Structure formats: structure tokens, C-alpha cells
Amino acid sequence: MNSNFNLTNLLKLNENSKLQIPSWIKVLQSKVLDLDFYELVKNISESKSREEETRIVQNEIMKLKKAFSQHDQSKEKKRECLIRMIYCHMLGFNVEFGHVNALNMTQDSEIWNKRTGYLALSLCLPDRHELLIMVVNSIQKGLGYDKSNYLEVSSALTALCKLIDKETIPAFLQKVLTLVQHPIPLVRKKAVTALHRFYQLQGYDDIIDSQTEDKLRIALCDKDPSVMAASVSVFLDISKTHSHTLKDLVPSFVGILKQVSEGRLPVVYVYHHIHHPWLQINLLKLLSNLGAQDQKSSEHMYQVVLLTMQQGIKVKNNVSFAILYEAIKCLTSIHPNIPLIETAAKYIHVLLPKLHNNLRYFGIKALTSIVKVSPKSVAQFQMEVIECLESSDDTLKRKSLDLLYRMTNQNNIIPICAKLIDHIRQTKDKSLRMELVSREMELMEKYSPSDYWYIDTMVTLLSIPATHMNQQSAFNLIRLLAEGNQDETEDTKIKLHAVDNFMEKIPQLQQSSNNPLYLLPDLFIKIMTWVLSEYSYLLPSQVPDQGGLSTHEYIINYFCDLLEKEHYNSDTKSWILIAITKLTSHLGKYLPQVSIITNKYTQSRSVQCQQRALELQEISRIPSLMTEIFPQDSYCEDLDLDSVFKKLDQFTSTAISNGAKEYIPIHKRKSTPLIDLQSIQQLTIQPKELNFEYPPPPSIFQQQSYQSTPTTSLPLVPISTTTTTGNPQDDNNRQMVSIDQNTQAMVVSPKVESIIPKSTKIAWTKKGFVGDKPNTVTQTPVIPNNNSNISEQQPQSSSTTQQPTTQQTTTQQPQKKIVDPEKEKLAKQLFSGLGGESVETTNSSETVPKKIKKHQTGVTTQPKVNTNETPLNNQFKDPLIDLSPPLTSTTTTTPTSNSSQLLVEIENTPTKTAITSPTTKSNNSILDDIDNNEILSLSFNTNITSSNINKNILDSDINTVTSPIISSPIRTAISTSTSTLSSQIEPGQDFSIENLNISPVVSKYMSKDDDEVEYQQVFKDKSIVVGIAKIISYLEPQNTKCKTTILLISNLQSTSIGNLKITIPTNNDNLVINITDIDSILSLDDNGTNLSLQSELPAKLTISVILSVKLKKIGFNMSIPITLSNVTNALSIPYEVSDFHWDQDDEANDLDSFNSISSQYQFERSIDIQSFHTVDSRNQLLFNRFIKGLHLKIIHSNEQEYYLVHTLSTSTNHYQCLYKFTHNNQDNTTTFLIKSNDKNLSDVLYRYAFKLYNLEQLKNK
Amino acid sequence: MIKFFILANIQGKTRLSQYYEHIPFQDRPTMESDIIRKCLSRTSLQCSFLEYKEDMKFVYRRYASLFFIVGVDSTENELAIYELINNYVEILDATFEDVCELDIMFNIDKAHFILDEMISNGNIVEISKQQILEVINSICKSADGTTASNQPIKLR
């Protein structure tokens, strides 16, 4: 070593002193690298630390920069500098300064220098460097075919492979293609490699044309094995994506493989006694790509693959095993030949004994590929696989787990999952753990043998720290528990099992939680708190071994402990707080420890926790409220917002009566000033609060409704005013009404005066009023109450949005006013879980039945519309029973004086005798347990077949219009109709709307014979029965209206109702509501929203209000929230899209246009209906109801399929919906397919269909 | 497909690196040291294959103080690569007569040339020792016709 040092020192000295260098020293110089390089290598190899290395390299870079700036250096020196530069680059330093020197070096005539230049460029040049274009230019110069120096060409080609990019390929393609036929094999090989590179960069379509393919095929037949091997790897790449183009080459590849494995290659290609093993492996890969799913090609291969395997196995070294594995893999990927695979499986015996883990690894890999095709072949290696599983080698273990995962089926799922969990616990590799967890989840979803097992495994999995488990899949557990199966007792068992499972964990968790290293995953805590808070009521009320501590308290204590820990994130903590809230509600008392912890969390930095803690604090103040807010087992139940609103209404009304300003919806605020000004000008007296109210209903709409129903509305307006004017004391009220008249009239006709006289001149009702006068007088105290009552309606609509949802679900549609529980339930089913999107399409049809069932047995969330005595079972009525009885006109009845004056509207109606169907009652008792709102939203279509009589009505109506002075025959009619009703009501007995014949009252508003009326009873208590009748006109064109009569009937005929006040909102997101007509006994205030009863509602009497409702847009849960002031509830009249008339003028009128329109529409919903108990009658019934309910037009039908359509136009939009109804006789399933151009519509109809389906289901039971 | 070929000593220092798949320059040193650390942590009885990141595994083989590490994609046959390393070492051995770490350091250009002959575009293109040696020898001839082997200096 020392001598060398001296020598080079001497050399350097000589250079410096410019002495003549002896030739022997020159030789030495070429042999011994320059001192700089020597020092660099020596320093780097001796450097002990990264810092030292950095210093060395930085120093070196300085030297190199200096060296590159000197131009008089020898080429050897320059090359050496480039090598030093490569070093610097390799150690991670920027060597941009040397790029140009490397480029210059590529132009050197010396091949070594040239090659070093290319090498330096290919290593050091970053992607897409601007110098590349120069490099490309340089390479191109080197690619001349005629160059005698083949080394130069091959160097250029080598550099080309590394340096070319996509854009420069065209410059080379032709040259490279010619070089494929160069006389020197080395060049041919490099040219094929270059083509391979082009293929990698450009892809099949841009590179492989007939010319290149020809060249590649020629190369495949090249007599030089290297060239052939190079072309095989190109074909291998092609076969990955375009195997079909190479099918004709299968015999060639088979032939080549046969020759190679038989040892026909020159001896230089023998590696460890095997002929070109890498070529064999490539060929086997190629064959497996070509033979996949291709029996014909595969049959060519079996023999040669077997031969390769046998040849390989003779040698028993690493390369031969590599070939063996590749052959087995090939056999399993091509069209399977089971006997051959079983033979191959036997060879695995060679690999699996404990020779080296590398071989066992390959054994497991081979088994993994075999298990797909022939699972039984794997069985013989059980023990070996188990050994590998227990190996300490991560890689081997991982492969073995992969094998386990792939061989899982229903029978072995339990042990395999246990094994996987073991490994999840053990492994330290984060990515492996995550992979195992996801696989475990996948297996559990796929093969879970029972729900119990699923719960246990899930809980175990959750409890493992740092699994980074997908939150969504963890929530599957919640979904499983909450939704349950069909079987109620089984569900309870499962729930109990889960609760037990978590309960058992508490003591051990308490112990282990002392250890700060052992953290429970947040997700586990979330799921645990949820399960325990929801279902702990299933447990015995006291915990054993805890000194009589109640279960709830025990759990709460534990949760409080958890909250004390610092390491849970705020999201988890808010879950715990929610759980404590629920448990506190169930327990019914606010424990001191909870109070302490809650107080702490009201100061929490996390807003979420703070919110939860404050909620808990607030709720705990009213213990009676707690069980209502957090009922037991209510996760899948509907949120009953009605009752919440009710309370809020009270709250707001009290607040307003105490002087608070009421809420005005934003959309009302804008237009207020303008119209308000007008009304202020015209008003003489007006209650203050009403200034904020929206003025009369949109007059244009009203006018339209007048036009469309001219017979009904006009005469009624004066009547209502007359009743007020007829009462001299009631100045206030009269003013309000007359102003209302004015504002309406302003639009209808500018002459206010012409209307006002009209309203005052109706003296005839005054006459009729005489008998009732005493009552009218006593009615005055109503007015002071007005303001507070009016306000009730407004806050109610707003309170929906302000209402914090008590559970984790958020209200999906903000436009909901009052949530129809039925639809709410459906929505929950569809988006059940906490955002499980998949449910929508997959589970919905199956989950429906059990949801219904739950709801029936559900504990608390029954909407409390009807809080008193009798369940409203009577309402549920077989739709087939016709309500309208044969008409018998009663000409003479007892005219009760006080009633006849009031019922001006009813007076014209022909009387019909009521038929109460005694059968219905007994039928309905089955359905007692169905909650009210479900029934309320039912719709019955009752045909009223009273053509002749209706004509009479029409006539008499016109009569009324023309001459407001009433003639005596009509007055007789008043009395008769009222008495008809009163004769139907037995004094002192309950009745319901369904048992009454109300047709006389309603039929007046029916304009045409074909109108249908639907009756519903909305409310009933001791004093009043509220019913609605919806009149649906089919024959009026372009009418998306529905007229609704609200009927108020005093119940029991014993008490009078005073101070009745009705608030009808005229503005709704989905609906336009106009009060078309009201009973004379009512008066409408100037806002057009509040109706008040002038006097008491006498016993036996009906009042009716008729509204015309027009569809503004299509939405869910359309309903009018009506407030009746002596009724605590806000009543809601539900609407369905089916209540509106459907325009029958459809574009789709034959099957072809149906299909073409159907393909355009993108909003698609489909429902599969199964398991009807009876075969077709039910489906048929359902189908009929669907058609009838929605008034569908049948376009085409055959035995199994129906094509239906309907169109709906609102003022702004045109919606069309197409239906396909397919019945499958074999498995008795029916599929609805709904397609629409509007998402909302398709959703609405989807729900509608579901509702019908549910009803059918219920009836089936 | 082969993604990279790295030589490193047991101190974890890279002696040669060649990438066949684009990995940004600045990411390379960390990745290399990470991989080398993983290799060092394994015993000779364990598998010479390791899964690393998505669709990447590496095969390593140790000769005295040097690790030869090859990164491949998931389709590659690990044993074949394992033997390819051996083939490379055999060729180096034939070139430098009893190759050692310093040989490679002093002749990094040649080591690269051999690798370039053997692997191209991430594919194995030549495995014949004789063929490769022939090319290398014909390239590395000095101007005066003598074969330039820097071999004489044996530091250890």
C-alpha cells in the first residue's frame, strides 16, 4: 500500500514539475487510477458517519467543478472525473454541474469513454431534463447501420433504453427497426430491447404495427438465443394485455420451451446445470398468460409444462425450484387439468420440508396458487402450513396467512379468523396489520356462521389497539344489532349477547386501563358505549358482585371513568357523553358523578363534547322528559318530532305572549314591507303582531281557484263576512275580515267598493242567526286570544329546522314541516345505520318487514296525536267498502233551529242517509296496534256515485251565486243536511268520521261526477272530531290541485266548544294553499291564515273549511300543519303525490317511446317484492292500488309485464315518471322499476310504493 | 419487472445503485437506507424476500460485507431473482478475480456496464457469463490496446 502511495505521489510531483514523464509511468498511470479517485474511494470507504461522508462529497464536488473547468485534461482524467461524479450522485448529491461534461464525453471516439458518458447521463440526468434533447441527438449519431464499430451502436442502444422518453420515440423507431436485422447478434439483441422500451413507454396501440410485429417475430426465430430471449420478454409484456394477438405463437413458444428445457442451448447459457432458467421462467409466464381461459391453447401446453417441471426437479437447486414454482403457477392459471395439477402438487413436497425458508416460502406460494383450482390438493400439506404459520419469519408468515385467507370457506372460517386475529395482535408491521384487518373483515362478512360469532369476533377485533379499522365496517355491528333479523326473540338474544360481551369486558378493562400503554381503540369505545347505552336494559337490573349496584349505574360509573382518561379523542368522548345521557334517561336520575363529569365537560375545549354535556345538563333538569327523548330500544324507531314541536310550540307561544317577537321565515320577510304598507293604509285597527304576517294568500292563485271552481267559492266569501257583520259587537273581527276581502278584491277587481257592499248586504244569514244570538255574544272573549294563537303556526314551521336532533341522525330534508312518521321510517330504512349508503340498494326490501314489526311493538315513539282513550282503529277500513250509500233524499226532517243557521254551506247538499258499516269495527281491531299516523296517511278511494244529485247541487250553487238572498227551499236543505249528520250521531256516544256519511257535506265541492273523495280522521278527543276529506278531480285538465275539506264535528253532542281557532298556513315549500271557502260560523282574519269561531261550536254541528291545495314542487312529506287552538297538538294533513291529479297527456304512448324515454331518464329506483303469502291475489291487489292510487296510464301490458306512465306538471316543472312492473311467476317476486326525470319524484314514488307494500304486508298478517 | 438494483455494505452505505423505475432522486437515499436496515435486521435463516410497500418486494443476498438488493414487482419470481444476483456476482468474480467491495468501488463503471448488459428496462436480457465478459472486455480496452484492469491495487 505504501509503495503505491509513493508511486502516485511521485507521479503527481512529475506532473507539477513539468518533467518529462517516462513511458513506464504512463502505463502505470493508466493502470493505477489517479490519486484523486483513489483518495475519494478510500475516504468514502473509511468514513464512519454520514456527516463525514457529506463533508467528503462536498469537498469532492468542489474539486470536480474545478476539474471540469480545465480543458486541457486527458480523456482518461475526464472519464475518471465522470466516475467520481457518479459517486457523488449515488450518495445523493446534486451533480448538475457535470451534465454537460458527460454529454461531451458521449462524443468521444473511445468506446469506453463514450459508454462512461452515457452511463453518467443515464444515472445522473433527472426525468425530463432539458439536456435530454441534446443527448437524444448524440445517441442518434451513434445509431448508423453502416458503422463498423458495433460496440458504438450497442452502447448507443443501451443508452437509448435508459434515456429516451415518449416524445422522442418517432425519431428512432425506423432506425431501431433496421438494426433488428444487424449482422452482429449483440446489436440485434439491443435493438429488440430498445423496441421493448418503446413498447413500455408508448403502449400496444402506438408501437405494435405489422412492421414491428414482423420484426419481433423474426427476432423470436433468431439463431442467437440471446436475441430470442430478449424478444420473449417483449412478448411476455405484450401478453399481459393483448394475449389474443399472440395465440398463433403458442406452438412456437411451446417449441422453444421444449428445446430449452431439454438442453438444446449452447453451453454458455447453462446456469447451475439448467439451461437458461430465466428464459424458461419467462416462457412459462408467457404461456400462463396465453392459456388463461383458453382451453385450446392450454392443451398444447400441458405436456411441455410437465416436461419442464420434471427436468427442473432433477437438479434440485434454487433455479430449478424457481422453475418448478413457475410451472405450477402456469398450470393453475391456464385452463385447469386436474390430474396434472395433482401431480404437480406432489412436487411441492420437495419445497416444504425445513430446508430453507426461501423454499418453504415458495412452497406456500405454490399452494396458494393451487388452492384456487384444486383445494383438496392442499389438504395433504396441513402440517407444513401450520409450521410455516408459526415460523418467526415475517415474510413466510405473511404468505401463509395469505394462503389461509384464500382457502377460507364456511367450514373453516372460525379457526382461520382466530388465527388471523392472533397475528393481528402479534404483528408489529402496520401495513400488514391493516391488511389482515381488512381481510378478516372481508371473511367475516362473507362467511360468518352466526351472528353470535360475528359479534364476538368483531368485539375482539375492535379491542385490538392500532388496527386502523374502517369505521364504516365497525358500524356494521351496530346495524346488525339495531336492525336484527325477522325473529324478535332471536334479536333480543343477540342484543343480550352483545351487551353481555361488553359487560364482561368492563372489569378487565378497568384493570388494564391502569396501564397507560394499553389503550383501547377509540372505535371500540364508541361501539361499546353505543351498545351498552342502547341495550343494557336487557340485563338484569343489578350487577352481581357489585353490592346491589344497578346495572345502569355500574355502566355509567365505568363511562365516567373513561371520560377521565385523557387519551381518547373528543369524538369518542362525545359518544361516551351521549351514552351517559341515554343511560341517565333510562335510570331516571341524574347521578352526582355524572353531574361532576358533565360540569367538567361543559368547559371542554371540544365544541362537540361541550354540546353533549350541555344537552345532558339541560335534559337532566326535567326527568319526565328524559324517557321521552331517549326511549329504550328506539334506534330503529322513528323520531317523533311532532311531540317535540308541540312542546316547542307551547314554549314559543308563551314567549310571544310575554312580548317576544315571533319568528318570520326568511322567504316571508322580503315581501313583507311592500304589501304590509298597503294593508296598513287600509287597516283601521289591526293587532300589532299581525303586521309581520304575510298578507292574504297569493291572489293570483286564489283567482285561479275561483275560476276553476266557480260554483263553490264565490258565494261563500260574503257569507263569512256576514256572520261577523251580523254581530254588532264584533267590530274588530269584522274589520279584519273586510280588509281581507279588500286585498283579495284588489287583484280580482280594483273596485273595492263593489265588493264591500256585497259583503255587507247578505242579510239573509243574519236572519238565520237569530236563534243563535246568545251564543254569539258570549263568544267575544275569543278576540284577545287571537294574537297568541295566530303565532302558534309560524314558529312551528320554523322549529323544525331549529330543533336539534336528539339522536345522531340528522334530518335529511330541511323542507319537512311535520315529519310524517311513515316516511321518516322509510328514510331511516334507506339510510339506516350511521350513513350506510349501501343499504339503500341492497337491504331495503328485506329490512322493510322487520321494521314494520318493530314499529308495532315499539315502546315509545308512537306519535301522540291521539292521547286519549280509544285507539283510532276504526279508521282503518277496507278500501273496498264503499262509503257512499245509496242516496235517499230526505225532504222533511226536524229542523233544529240553532244548527240550521250556521251551516250555510251545507244547506244545499242533498241528504244521504248514513251507513255505518258494522263489519269494519271487528275487522279493524286486528290493527289496533298500528300507530296512528300510519293510519292517518292511508288513503282510501271512495267513489261517490251520485250523478243526478250532483247536478242538482250545481244548479243550486249557481242559484246561490246569482241571488244571494236565500230562498226557502234551500234553507230547508240546510236543516236537512245537518240533521242528517246529527241523526247519524248518537248522543253521548263516540263516533268517528268513517262511521259518518259525510258525502252530503262534501259533495257540494265536487265539481264533476268522477271526483273521488278520501276521508281521514285526523284528530278526536272528548269534544271535537277533526276529519278531512280530500277531493281529487280527475277530469279537470292541467290541474294539479287537490281540494280538501276540513270537517270539525263536535263530539258526544253534549258539550259546546268555545274559543276554537284554526290556523292554516298559506305558505309551504311544496304546496300552495288557499282557503277557498269557509263555513259561515268561522271568520277569516286579514292574514288569510287564521280562522276563528265566532261563537261556540254547538253540539252536533259540523264546520267545514275548504282549502284548495296546489302542488308547487314535488317533495317528501307534504303536509299542512294546522293549529287548532283548543287542541294542544298541531294537526297535520298529510298529502301524497297521489292526491294530486295527474296530467294524462303523456309523451310516452307506446312501448317504443317508453323505452326511449326510459333510457334518457336517469333517476331510477327499483323495488323487489317477495314472500307474499298468497300467490297472485296480493300482488294483483297491490298492483291495482298502485295504478289506481297514482292514476297511472297503462301503455303496454302482457302477462308478466306492465308498462305504465304518468306525467305531472306543476307551475314551473314538468315531471314524468315511467314504471315497469315485472312479475316473475316462478319465485313469485315482483319488481317495480321507477324511472323519472326528477330525483325527488322518483324518491317520492319509491316511498309511496313502499308504503303500499307495507300496508299489504300488514294486512297479510 | 425489476425496479432497482442496489449494492450496499453492512454499514448501510450504498456502493452501487441502478433504478429501472423512476423514483425521484431526493427520495432515493432514505429508501435505500430503509431497505438496507430491513435487510440487516434479518437472519440468514429467514427468507431472502421481503414485502415492501405496495406492489414492491425486494430480494436480497449477502456476500461477505456486501448486500445485493433487488427490488421487483409482485409478478416476479423471487427465487429467479435470487439466482440472478448470484449470476451477477459470478460475472463480477470472473471480471475481477475474487471480487471484493473495493473492486466494485474502484470499478464502478464496469460494474454498471455488466449490469446494463444483464438487465435492461427492468428485464433480464442476458445471463451468459461469457457473452457479457466479451462485451465488457471489448469496451474497456485502453487506447493503447491493453486491457485496462485496475485490479493490481489490492488494498486488503
Q: Do A322 and B46 touch (CB under 8 A)?
A: no
Helix axes B78-96, A357-373, angle to 10 degrees: 150
Report yes or no for ipTM above 0.95.
Answer: no
User: What are the tens digits of pLDDT across the range A263-301?
Assistant: 888 989 999 889 999 999 999 999 999 988 888 888 889
User: A152 near A145, Cβ under 8 Å?
Assistant: no
What confidence score (pLDDT) does residue A1145 get? Answer: 62
What confidence score (pLDDT) does residue A633 get? Answer: 63
Q: How far is B123 from chain A (nearest CA, A)?
A: 7
| Cβ neighbours of B34 in A, within 8 Å | none
Least confident of A260-264, A462-466, B64-68: A462-466
Least confident of A841-850, A868-877, A1216-1225, B117-126: A841-850
User: A893 near A939, Cβ under 8 Å?
Assistant: no
The model's confidence at residue A1259, banded by pLDDT at 50, 70 and 90, is low
What confidence score (pLDDT) does residue A636 get? Answer: 60
Which residues fall within 8 angstroms of residue A188, CB to CB, at 6 or more apart? Answer: A179, A180, A181, A182, A219, A222, A224, A227
Chain A residue at shortest CA distance from B133: A268
What confidence score (pLDDT) does residue A1011 get? Answer: 61
What confidence score (pLDDT) does residue A842 get? Answer: 34
Chain B residue at shortest CA distance from A280: B80
Q: Do A268 and B128 touch (CB under 8 A)?
A: yes
What is the 8-class DSSP label of residue A249? G
What is the 8-class DSSP label of residue A887? P
Number of residues that this document lists for chain B: 156
What confidence score (pLDDT) does residue B10 get? Answer: 85
The model's confidence at residue A941, banded by pLDDT at 50, 70 and 90, is very low
Of residues B50 and A647, more confidently modeled: B50
Q: Do A226 and B49 touch (CB under 8 A)?
A: no
In whole angstroms, what is the distance from residue A153 CA to residue A200 CA? Answer: 21
What confidence score (pLDDT) does residue A474 get? Answer: 75
Residue tagged 452511463 (cell numbers): A119
In whole angstroms, what is the distance from residue A460 CA to residue A453 CA? Answer: 11
Q: Do B80 and A229 touch (CB under 8 A)?
A: no
| Cβ neighbours of B121 in A, within 8 Å | 161, 193, 196-197, 200
Residue A964 has pLDDT above 80, yes or no: no
In whole angstroms, what is the distance from residue A1010 CA to residue A454 CA? Answer: 58
Cα dihedral sign for A1246, A1247, A1251, A1254? positive
Q: End-to-end CA distance of chain A, in Å?
A: 101
| Cβ neighbours of A27 in B, within 8 Å | 146
Q: Calculate what percentage of chain A has a pLDDT beyond 70.
A: 59
Helix axes A318-333, A338-347, angle to 10 degrees: 160
What is the 8-class DSSP label of residue A805? P
A806: left (phi over 0), alpha (psi -120 to 50) or beta: alpha
Which residues fall within 8 angstroms of residue A861, CB to CB, at 6 or more apart? Answer: A631, A634, A637, A638, A639, A640, A821
Q: Give the count of Cβ contacts less than 8 A between chain A and B.
A: 172
Distances (CA, A) of A722 to A498, A967, A973: 69, 17, 20
Chain centroid to CA A270: 61
**A126 burial type by CB count under 10 A (0-12 exposed, 13-18 middle, 19+ buried):** middle
Of residues A84 and A148, more confidently modeled: A84
CA-CA-CA-CA torsion for A79, A82, A83, A86, nearest 10 degrees?
-160
In whole angstroms, what is the distance from residue A736 CA to residue A730 CA? Answer: 10
The model's confidence at residue A918, banded by pLDDT at 50, 70 and 90, is very low
Residue A122 has, within 13 A of its CA and on its CB side, a CA count of: 29
Q: What is the mean pLDDT of residues B52-78?
A: 89
Three-class SS state of A512: helix
For A1057, phi then psi, to 5°, come to -110, 125
The model's confidence at residue A942, banded by pLDDT at 50, 70 and 90, is very low
Q: Which of B113, B105, B120 is nearest to B135 (CA)?
A: B113
Cα dihedral sign for A100, A102, A103, A104? positive
Least confident of A667-671, A1044-1048, B111-115: A667-671
Residue tagged 244529485 (cell numbers): A949
Three-class SS state of A1154: helix
In whole angstroms, what is the distance from residue A1207 CA to residue A1161 CA? Answer: 13
What confidence score (pLDDT) does residue A1248 get? Answer: 75
| Cβ neighbours of A276 in B, within 8 Å | 127
What confidence score (pLDDT) does residue B92 get? Answer: 92
For A315, phi then psi, to 5°, come to -85, -40
Q: Which of A39, A90, A260, A274 should be substituted to probe chain B, the one whose Cβ sees the most B Cβ atoms within 10 Å?
A: A90
Residue A772 has pLDDT above 60, yes or no: no
In whole angstroms, what is the distance from residue B83 CA to residue B17 CA? Answer: 19
Q: Do B141 and A112 touch (CB under 8 A)?
A: yes
For A1192, phi then psi, to 5°, come to -80, 155
Residue tagged 313502499 (cell numbers): A1250
Q: Do B106 and A33 touch (CB under 8 A)?
A: yes
The model's confidence at residue A693, banded by pLDDT at 50, 70 and 90, is very low
Three-class SS state of A1103: strand
Of residues A904 and A94, more confidently modeled: A94
Q: What is the mean pLDDT of residues A968-973?
A: 33
Residue A319 has pLDDT above 70, yes or no: yes
What confidence score (pLDDT) does residue A887 get? Answer: 39
Residue B59 identity: V
Q: Between vectors from CA A252 to CA A251 and to CA A258, what angle results, nearest 5°? A: 85
B141 interfacial to chain A (CB closer than 8 Å): yes
Per-position DSSP letters for B47-77, written without gaps between them: -SEEE-STT-EEEEEEETTEEEEEEE-TTS-
Chain centroid to CA A782: 51
Q: Do A161 and B120 touch (CB under 8 A)?
A: yes
56-95 in chain B: CB under 8 A from chain A: 75, 77-80, 82-84, 87
What confidence score (pLDDT) does residue A750 get? Answer: 39
Residue A961 has pLDDT above 70, yes or no: no
Q: What is the mean pLDDT of residues A870-890?
A: 38
Residue A20 has pLDDT above 70, yes or no: no
Which residues fall within 8 angstroms of residue A665, CB to CB, at 6 or more apart? Answer: A794, A797, A798, A1067
- The three state secondary structure string of A806-829 is CCCCCCCCCCCCCCCHHHHHHHHH
The model's confidence at residue A311, banded by pLDDT at 50, 70 and 90, is confident
Residue A932 has pLDDT above 70, yes or no: no
| Cβ neighbours of B117 in A, within 8 Å | 158
Q: What is the mean pLDDT of residues A530-547?
A: 76
What confidence score (pLDDT) does residue A920 get? Answer: 36
Q: Would strands A1090-1093 and A1061-1063 be described as parallel, antiparallel, or unpaired?
A: antiparallel
Q: What is the mean pLDDT of residues B94-120?
A: 88
Q: How far is B145 from chain A (nearest CA, A)?
A: 11
What confidence score (pLDDT) does residue A188 get? Answer: 92
User: What are the tens digits of pLDDT across the range A414-468?
Assistant: 888 888 888 888 877 777 788 888 888 888 888 888 888 888 888 888 877 777 7
Q: Do B150 and A53 touch (CB under 8 A)?
A: no
What confidence score (pLDDT) does residue A1000 get? Answer: 67
List strands edge to edge, sheet with A1214-1224.
A1163-1169, A1229-1236, A1214-1224, A1201-1209, A1193-1197
Q: What is the mean pLDDT of residues A48-63?
A: 87
The model's confidence at residue B83, banded by pLDDT at 50, 70 and 90, is very high
Distances (CA, A) of A1249 to A318, A643, A1060, A1137, A1185: 67, 27, 38, 11, 10
Q: Indicate the pTM of the whole model.
A: 0.54
Q: What is the mean pLDDT of residues A459-484?
A: 77
Beta-sheet strands, E only, within A796-952: 942-943
Three-class SS state of A1091: strand
Cell numbers found for residue A639: 323520531
| Cβ neighbours of B28 in A, within 8 Å | 92
Q: Which of B105, B117, B127 sits opposite A41 (nearest CB)?
A: B105
Chain A residue at shortest CA distance from B57: A395
Chain A residue at shortest CA distance from B122: A197
Q: Calculate what percentage of chain A has a pLDDT beyond 90.
A: 6
Q: End-to-end CA distance of chain B, in Å?
A: 37
Q: Which of A90, A281, A394 sits opposite B77 (nearest CB)?
A: A281
User: A1088 near A724, Cβ under 8 Å?
Assistant: no
Average pLDDT, chain A: 68
**A999 burial type by CB count under 10 A (0-12 exposed, 13-18 middle, 19+ buried):** buried
Which residues fall within 8 angstroms of residue B84, CB to CB, at 6 or more apart? Answer: A278, B70, B118, B124, B127
104-133 in chain B: CB under 8 A from chain A: 105-106, 108-109, 112-113, 116-117, 120-121, 123-131
Residue A230 has pLDDT above 70, yes or no: yes
Q: What is the mean pLDDT of residues A1062-1081?
A: 73
User: What are the tens digits of pLDDT across the range A616-626?
Assistant: 888 878 777 77
Residue tagged 276504526 (cell numbers): A874
Q: Do B155 and A1 touch (CB under 8 A)?
A: yes
Most confident of A82-91, A368-377, A1189-1198: A82-91
What confidence score (pLDDT) does residue A821 get? Answer: 53
Three-class SS state of A527: helix
For B2-144, the fitting CATH number among 3.40.50.970, 3.30.450.60, 3.40.1190.20, 3.40.50.1580 is: 3.30.450.60
Q: How many CB atoms lie within 10 A of CB A59?
A: 13
In whole angstroms, what is the distance from residue A43 CA to residue B156 CA? Answer: 15
The model's confidence at residue A1056, banded by pLDDT at 50, 70 and 90, is low
Distances (CA, A) of A1180 to A849, A1136, A1175, A1202, A1222: 19, 22, 9, 12, 12
What confidence score (pLDDT) does residue A403 get? Answer: 87
**B97 burial type by CB count under 10 A (0-12 exposed, 13-18 middle, 19+ buried):** exposed
In whole angstroms, what is the distance from residue A979 CA to residue A1027 CA? Answer: 18
Q: Which of B43, B123, B151 should be substituted to probe chain A, the one whose Cβ sees the most A Cβ atoms within 10 Å?
A: B123
Q: Which residues pair with A1143 in a beta bridge?
A: A1207
Residue A189 has pLDDT above 90, yes or no: yes
Residue A238 has pLDDT above 80, yes or no: yes
Q: How far is A568 from chain B (nearest CA, A)?
A: 30
In whole angstroms, what is the distance from residue A509 CA to residue A765 CA? Answer: 81
User: B115 near B89, Cβ under 8 Å?
Assistant: no
Three-class SS state of B101: helix
Cα dihedral sign for B110, B111, B114, B116? negative
Number of residues that this document lists for chain A: 1261
User: What are the tens digits of pLDDT across the range A991-1017?
Assistant: 666 666 666 666 666 665 556 677 777
| Cβ neighbours of B8 in A, within 8 Å | none
| Cβ neighbours of B33 in A, within 8 Å | none
List strands edge to edge, sheet with B49-51.
B14-19, B2-9, B66-72, B57-63, B49-51
Residue A962 has pLDDT above 80, yes or no: no
Q: Which of A33, A230, A322 sits opposite B79 (nearest CB)?
A: A322
CATH 3.30.310.10 in chain A, residue ranges: 1151-1258
Q: Do A44 and B101 touch (CB under 8 A)?
A: no
List strands edge to edge, sheet with A1130-1135.
A1082-1084, A1090-1093, A1061-1063, A1118-1124, A1130-1135
CA-CA-CA-CA torsion for A248, A253, A255, A257, nearest 10 degrees?
-160
Q: Which of A491, A637, A479, A486 is nearest to A1171 (CA)?
A: A486
Residue A15 has pLDDT above 50, yes or no: no
Residue A752 has pLDDT above 60, yes or no: no
What confidence score (pLDDT) does residue A634 get? Answer: 62
Least confident of A128-142, A311-325, A1233-1247: A1233-1247
The model's confidence at residue A894, banded by pLDDT at 50, 70 and 90, is very low
Q: Do A83 and B48 touch (CB under 8 A)?
A: no
Q: Which of A1226, A1223, A1246, A1224 is nearest to A1235 (CA)?
A: A1246
Three-class SS state of A313: helix
- Does domain A1151-1258 fall under CATH 3.30.310.10? My reply is yes
